[in-house]
A and B are shown apart, each in its own frame.
Chain A
């Protein structure tokens, strides 16, 4: 009897495993009703850290990019929720199997609502357009220039709408990790580069030649933090379809991360 009980539990938690004899567990509870139940659960159990709409707070990351740091498969998400992430503030949640699947259904819906899954373009064509127009400054998937940010993982952080805005109006939102520093040292040397990190005493920058430099603030005569983007707008330079292709490629890259 006891064994039977355990078997029933396994089937309930991992029905796809039982049905297909595969380890590729798939969420079986994806109806609208399940999504609604998951939404309610999300607000009460998850939104405190991940934000009301799942776009993150200072306490927890966004869940709307369509990619997940600790694995994006249904099975991996199930594990993250039920076991937590040691070393972070993500605790294990002792929800029922059904509740966990409903939560996953809602989390997927959050990504769709933010456009994470709505990729219209052709990633292959996008790769070629990227190489021709962007890679002089931007690296992606291990190739390209260094004067702009590496875009390999941008698809995990930005929605397709945000990527489109960056293409047409680069100054609209320049995230702080892409700000640059223009400094003059006390000996009169001018240095400019992307600010990679900063603390009370120093900046860590990468100059346009790819050199990694640490600037001690006490040794700088003057310093300017540049919050604008040096990137030109691609409105009118790329067609709507070409932009969709590039965005599709960047998002597909993000999903490989």
Chain B
């Protein structure tokens, strides 16, 4: 009987330990042993206070375990790690709970997708959110699914939008207090984007922010005629949250049709913008549009990085943003005020930014029937993978595609529900999404680089140049490490102050997600998805 009571107590203790309250999410930085949200914390700095791994011992990292996916789709997910359990998605929409120490599987949730689901760019998913004892998953058939964290059993499942019309969910949801926030992908399929919050217990919709204003709403005048009805402005990457301001920040995707802006005259709000929403109501507090009237598919679907800076002698709640359009921005996240903007890669579409941060567009650089060569190419100067801000070095880090052009074509486009709605095409020698295993291209078609920028000036402090481009996000640590991977299949650590290579392992598969670090029983681990597996490293045990 005694053993039974002990086991019962242990079971209850484990169950209770799994509880992820809203307070824990708010204070995630205080428990660096866990990776509680897609971006590690509401500030989305991809920075960890863990200190066991240091520049002087990182070269001793060894492989601890490998988890192999069932799927041959690309892994873009960042796992959660909560009290010794890792929760990850096996693309497109299975969820798996594994022992973070060994990689052994506890349970698997299988999500069957109906025929007719048409995601734009691969059957991908970027991960789950956790609140209480529930995991939340967005699916390619545009549903929000709640799973019991102990069993993987479905608690509820609600329809977010019509997948038949091109809507899908690829992002990891964001839990804020008692709500689960998601946005919808489908920007190449003529959807009308939105961000919506759902009651975490019931799945009932609490609020919805439409990323394209409807008739009568401010900003509607930025869409000529009926173009707003199929204007895209999708949302496919998890936002950030400032609990003090109670504002949640989300990057919005491109306007559609992508490459025929003449079909949608105007600025096309809130495409290619960041929006700051009241987390309780979804009301728009402010917005900043990076690329008005975009013709290049420069989604502003990057992770809003929240940093508290000393700005010209005064503390400032800032937002750091390396945009797909090739410019790095610093905004005031309380007001949306533009503080700084500098190109971080070669760009030829704008003469620069004006004093309010609006690009001075070169009008002869829009897509044409004959093709217009423009930098950056369609994958942008950077993209959705995580940048990082280290409060220790004070630097902003991002993965960039440098010297990378595209030839942009434009043509007429009719709308048909659920069908491709891009109004053109882009030609580039660089593989857009999936790498070439054999790569013989030269740097004349572009190359990948990790760059450290000084937020005060936007100037580059150092760079780590790679042969191929990279779709890997970044992770920095308080001890001055930066972890990343690349398309070549390498996973490596750099010195965060100087960009020097400190450690490298060849894992063989394309890295297309962001590294995470956590600890269990005093041992720090770092994990990365490469190819169709997740690799976890740590120091040799003493």
Contacts and interface: CB of A to CB of B under 8 A. Distances in A.
Given A197-B439, A225-B442, A48 B467 contact: no
A199 B438 contact: no
Contact of B433 (A52, A59, A225): A59
Nearest to B492: A200
Contacts of A200: 465-468, 486, 488, 490
Contacts of B62: none
Nearest to B410: A52
A149 to B, nearest CB: 11
B429 interface: yes
- Interface bracket on B: 35 or more
Contact of A59 (B258, B409, B432, B437): B432
Contacts of B119: 91
A48 to B, nearest CB: 5
A159 to B, nearest CB: 17
Interface of A: 43-49, 51-52, 57-59, 86-89, 91-94, 176-177, 179, 195-201, 225
A177 B440 contact: yes
Given A52-B411, A86-B72, A196-B438, 11 more contacts: A49-B425, A57-B428, A58-B377, A58-B427, A59-B431, A89-B121, A91-B118, A176-B440, A199-B439, A200-B467, A225-B442
A195 B440 contact: yes
Nearest to A40: B414
Given A59-B432, A89-B433, A94-B116, A48 B441 contact: no
A92 B116 contact: yes
A179 B431 contact: no
A108 B11 CA distance: 64
Contacts of B441: 176
B434 A88 contact: yes
Contacts of B72: 86-87
Lowest 10 CB-CB distances: which A-B pairs, in order? A59-B432, A87-B72, A58-B428, A199-B488, A176-B440, A58-B432, A177-B440, A45-B420, A200-B467, A48-B422
Most buried by A among B73, B377, B428, B440: B440
10 contacts: A43-B411, A44-B419, A58-B427, A58-B432, A89-B121, A197-B437, A198-B439, A199-B439, A199-B468, A200-B490
Contact of B418 (A46, A86, A94, A201): A94
Nearest to A43: B411
A43 to B, nearest CB: 6
B122 interface: yes
Contacts of A47: 409, 424-425
Interface string B109-138: 000000110111111000000000000000
Interface string B414-456: 1010111110111111111110011111100000000000000
B413 interface: yes
B76 interface: no
A86 B420 CA distance: 18
A57 B118 contact: no
B267 interface: no
A199 B440 contact: no
Most buried by A among B120, B420, B434: B420
Given A86-B72, A92-B116, A58 B440 contact: no
Contacts of B422: 44, 48
Nearest to B422: A48
B425 A58 contact: no
Nearest to B426: A57
Interface of B: 72-73, 115-116, 118-123, 188, 258, 377-378, 409, 411, 413-414, 416, 418-422, 424-434, 437-442, 465-468, 486, 488-490, 504
Contacts of A177: 438, 440
A177 B189 CA distance: 35
A62 B411 CA distance: 20
A176 B430 CA distance: 13
Contact of A48 (B115, B188, B439, B465): B188
Contact of B430 (A58, A91, A199): A58
A195 B439 CA distance: 10
B116 A176 contact: no
Contact of B420 (A48, A87, A225): A48
Nearest to A177: B440
B345 to A, nearest CB: 17
Nearest to A178: B440
A177 B416 CA distance: 40
B413 A87 contact: no
A200 B439 CA distance: 11
Contact of B434 (A46, A89, A196): A89
Contacts of B442: 176, 225
A199 B490 CA distance: 9
Most buried by A among B120, B188, B465, B467: B467
Contacts of B115: 92, 94
A232 B433 CA distance: 38
Contacts of A198: 439-440, 467
Contact of B419 (A45, A52, A86, A87): A45
Nearest to B504: A201
Contacts of B465: 200
A51 B488 CA distance: 25
A15 B102 CA distance: 55
